[in-house]
Structure 1
Amino acid sequence: MSENILSLKGVHTHIGAYHILHGVDLDVPRGQLTMLLGRNGAGKTTTLRTIMGLWQASQGSIRFDGRDITRRGTPDIAQLGIAYVPENMGIFADLSVRENMLLAARGARSIADIDTARLEWIFGLFPAMKKFWLHPAGKLSGGQKQMLAVSRAIVEPRKLLLIDEPSKGLAPAIIANMITAFRELKQTDTTILLVEQNFNFARQLGDSVAVMDDGRIVHRGPMAELAENEELQTRLLGLSLAAHQ
């Protein structure tokens, strides 16, 4: 489908005295995985946090699924069907995997209230979640914590996932597992906006791509087009995907 589930138009964000986003125009097509790429400090995380209402846009508009969410609070935005997986994962270290999942399932008072088929689907994506179901989340490995963070975000059906650098610091085998899981997620009705620094990860998963620089979107197009154009990669990102094969 060509319809955009999320659109940012002329979005500016200030954090204290700092002007971080300078008129971001970004469209996220429904049913696709859109990569948001850019050098460190380009404004990628600020964009996700602004969409989620954690930081308020000082100018411009954000529309999600036909609604203006520019001035809505984070709980209201989440209720509309957006889940956010921050770079720091946002899990509760002192709680078990089971308790973390229950907290993320807003409509459930007990594990029995969570759709069993959906839980089994998540266990299929991330078997470690079933293995460590009763273990404290803080004792999981880095890769397992990332799996838990994503599992929490999808424990209930979401229209849009905002995910910030899911492969950061992970071993290659865990990254491969994450790629497989995201490929399966892409087959559902979930739209994904994903910030990533691992360009091989981006190449394998992205349908479309937007590149940020200095708080602005400076390139939009198919991910495959960027993956095949080393000159464009170098100009936009400072290095080529080929260097990260």
Structure 2
Amino acid sequence: MPEAASGSAAAAGAICAPLLALAGVHTHIGPYHILHGVDLAVPRGGLTVLLGRNGAGKTTALRTIMGLWRASAGRIDFDGRPIAALPTSDIARAGIAYVPETMGIFSDLTVRENLVLAARQGAMDADRLRWLFGLFPAIERFWQLPAGTLSGGQKQMLSIARAIIEPRQLILVDEPTKGLAPAIIANMVAAFRELKATDTTILLVEQNFLVARALGDNVAVMEDGRIVHAGAMAELAEDRSLQQRLLGLSLDMHQ
């Protein structure tokens, strides 16, 4: 069972139902049993970080929420509605966007065409687009270039821009800073901070613990396909022994 959250987080949860809730979720991929009864609550607003060692089941959890892999048992509720049996297209229409670790962009299409495909009915709101250009200036600079010609960091920016070209209630993001240069990571952190200031809720899988601490309001830690800790990010960031026990290292190593 997960460790108890801090008193303030528990009190907040009693007042406001989570936007996303997983209860006893199991996922099998072929003969492999990956998720073993995941219980996870993502509060409305702010950013929840999903941490864990490689192979803990973090990506499987995101893909299961999105319906790309089917839960074999358990319940997934989004905004009070069960979604575990819905097709991925309906889950997306309900207000969830997914940014995979592989980015999922169309390399042969231009930056503009990638965003047009992600917009409802192919129509991009001009104000929203200007806002995106402010978050990721490279999107505007390379507007007419094939997405495949962008750098790794620029492709990641495009992938996130595709997810938020339309307002979404929840964004699932899988390791957005993996392999990126420090300057690009700093730009990514700034963009997520601005996104947090909107009504968008974010569930972020992240291996860069400095980024996790900078952005996270809440945190859940996975181990062997289960949530073994949930609470405030500030609590984990301040407790070196808890970091060592849950993650096998201290966040201080990444300062």
1:72 aligned to 53, 64, 86, which one? 86
Equivalent residue for 1:97? 111
Give per-residue Cα distances to partners, 1:143-192, cap 9 Å, x unaligned. 00000000000000000000000000000000000000000000000000
TM-score (norm 1): 0.97
For 1:33, give the aligned amino acid: L
Q: Is 1:127 the equivalent of 2:137?
A: yes
1:30 to 40, 44, 54: 44
Q: What is the Cα deviation at residue 107 of structure 1? A: 2.6
Listed as ranges, the matches of 1:95-174 within 5 Å are 95-108=109-122, 113-174=123-184
Sequence identity percentage? 72
Segments of structure 1 that go 5 or more residues without pairing to the other structure are none
RMSD: 0.7
What is the distance in 1 between the residues matched to 2:69 and 2:120?
A: 23
Gaps of 5+ in 2: 1-11
| Residues 1:237 and 2:237 aligned together | no
Residue 114 (structure 1) shift: 1.1
CA distance in 1, matches of 2:118, 2:125: 13
Q: 1:105, CA displacement in angstroms?
A: 0.5
- The aligned amino acid for 1:93 is S
Moved over 4 A (4+): none
Give the CA deviation at 1:66.
1.1
In structure 2, distance between residues paired with 1:220 and 1:231 = 15
Q: Count residues in correspondence.
A: 241
User: Could you tell me the TM-score, scaled by structure 2's length?
Assistant: 0.94
Q: Please, which of 68, 71, 75 is the counterpart of residue 61 of structure 1?
A: 75
Q: Secondary structure at the match of 2:19?
A: strand
1:191 equivalent in structure 2: 201
Residues of 1 paired with 2:183 and 2:195: CA distance?
Answer: 19
AA aligned opposite 1:152: R
Q: Corresponding residue for 2:235? A: 225
The secondary structure found in structure 2 opposite 1:107 is helix
Which residue of structure 1 aligns with residue 190 of structure 2? 180
> Separation in 2 of the partners of 1:81 and 1:31?
14
1:84 partner amino acid: Y
Distance, in Å, in 1 between the alignment partners of 2:248 and 2:109 is: 41
CA distance in 1, matches of 2:197, 2:27: 33
Displacement of 1:106 in angstroms is: 2.4
The DSSP-based 3-state class of the residue aligned with 2:106 is: coil
